[in-house]
Amino acid sequence: MNISKDDYILRAFSKIKHKKWELYIVTRIIHLLDDPEIEFVCQQLIKTSNNKRYLADICFPNLSLYVEIDELQHSKLEHSESDKDRMKEILDASNFLEKRIQIFTAQREIKSLGEINSEIWKIVKFIKKRKEELVLKKFFQPWNFDKKYDPEKYISLGYLDSRKNVSFLYHRDALRCFGYKGGHFQKAVWEIKGTKKGVWFPKLYANKEWNNSLSDDLGTIEMRRIDNGKLWTIGNHEWLVFAHYKDFLGRIVYKFLGEFHSSREDSTMFCHIFLRKKTKINLKEYQTL
């Protein structure tokens, strides 16, 4: 499903149309920023520095920042990860800053719009300053919506880093990073010729055949059959993993999680364990294979 940046922004706002305070605050922040270079995502599933996963109200990936809107009616259940969220794209926000906007006073009385607008403006000024600081340090990457999933972007960079939240829309695009020249590719695994490594596109949630899972710290994959049956013989597998997820608009994406190796010590005939060994890999070594 290919959409334009305009469609993306309108759909992002429509996702929160039934949450009046969230809609008001998020849209006001975006309108006051009025900066097409700042990427934003609403209701993004994130992993925090303490390995907790929950839905952030609005996230700014290229600023390493997210904003939470504190409402009395916000329950832990609403923002904590549910089983259905296991199939959603996870943003590694372990190095992100968190900012909060309070809707209620200490006496649990709702603030006036004037007071809330004042808090919003403080957040907007902070975001603008943060961008300026990142630009000065040459750490800021402007939001290029059309290039977000383009493999050439990463081939030119020469590396993939899971902490940079890399995703692709198709198997073939992920495989391009490793020298693949073919068309659409549908299989779950692809062996990289001339190496002992392969590319794996697992679903890390229960589905028709598998009941795989990913640890909260994103460092361990457990592979099981849905019927708990026996698996094949445990080998010495090294996988470059692109997990099958849905983004917040419902599009299928393949998110790079890192390089995982099979663990013979931790695996059984019924559950294979894969441990993350690298979060960043050099692509240049694959381009000449």
Question: Is 147's pLDDT higher than 70?
Answer: yes
What token pair was written down for 52? 């907790």
Q: Of 136, 166, 187, which residue is a domain's last?
A: 136
Domain-located, residue 21: yes
Domain-located, residue 141: no
Domain-located, residue 250: yes
Same domain, 155 and 246: yes
Question: Is 109's pLDDT higher than 90?
Answer: no
**Residue ranges making up the domain that contains 186:** 149-286
Q: Where are the alpha helices (DSSP H) in 35-144?
A: 76-79, 113-136
Reported as type and span, the H/E element at residue 223 is strand 220-223
Same domain, 38 and 98: yes
Residue 72's pLDDT is 61
Please list, in sequence order, all residues whose beta carbon lies within 8 angstroms of the beta carbon of residue 267, skipping any fewer than 6 positions away: 234, 273
150, β-bridge pairs = none
Most confident of 89-103, 125-139, 274-288: 125-139
The pLDDT mean for the chain works out to 90
Separation CA 12–CA 75 (nearest Å): 22
Distance between terminal CA atoms of the chain?
32
Query: Which pTM value belongs to this model?
Result: 0.89
Residue 71's pLDDT is 76
C-beta separation of 224 from 203 below 8 A: no
C-beta separation of 38 from 81 below 8 A: no
Question: Is 172's pLDDT higher than 90?
Answer: yes
Domain count, the chain: 2
Domain-located, residue 143: no
Q: Which residue has the tokens 């390493």?
A: 64
Residue 234's pLDDT is 66
- The strands making up 41-47's β-sheet, listed across from edge to edge, are 91-92, 41-47, 53-60, 65-70, 97-102
Same domain, 162 and 112: no
What token pair was written down for 48? 């925090």
Residue 149's pLDDT is 94
Q: Of 86, 111, 136, which residue is a domain's last?
A: 136
Q: Average pLDDT, stretch 167-180? A: 95
Question: Is 78's pLDDT higher than 50?
Answer: no
Same domain, 159 and 244: yes
Q: Average pLDDT, stretch 164-192? A: 93
- C-alpha distances in angstroms, 161 versus 70, 91, 148, 221, 282? 32, 13, 14, 18, 9
Separation CA 151–CA 185 (nearest Å): 15
CB burial class (10 A; 0-12, 13-18, 19+) of residue 48? middle
Same domain, 13 and 116: yes
Same domain, 95 and 127: yes
Question: Is 175's pLDDT higher than 90?
Answer: yes
pLDDT digits (tens, 9 = 90+) for 204-250: 998 888 999 999 999 999 999 999 999 877 666 899 999 999 988 88
Share of the chain residues as helix, strand and coil, in percent rounded to the nearest 5: 30, 30, 40
Same domain, 174 and 120: no
Same domain, 273 and 214: yes
Question: Is 58's pLDDT higher than 60?
Answer: yes
pLDDT digits (tens, 9 = 90+) for 21-31: 999 999 999 99
Question: Is 261's pLDDT higher than 90?
Answer: yes
The pLDDT-based confidence of 262 (bands split at 50, 70, 90) is very high
Q: Where are the alpha helices (DSSP H) in the chain?
A: 5-14, 20-33, 76-79, 113-136, 151-157, 171-176
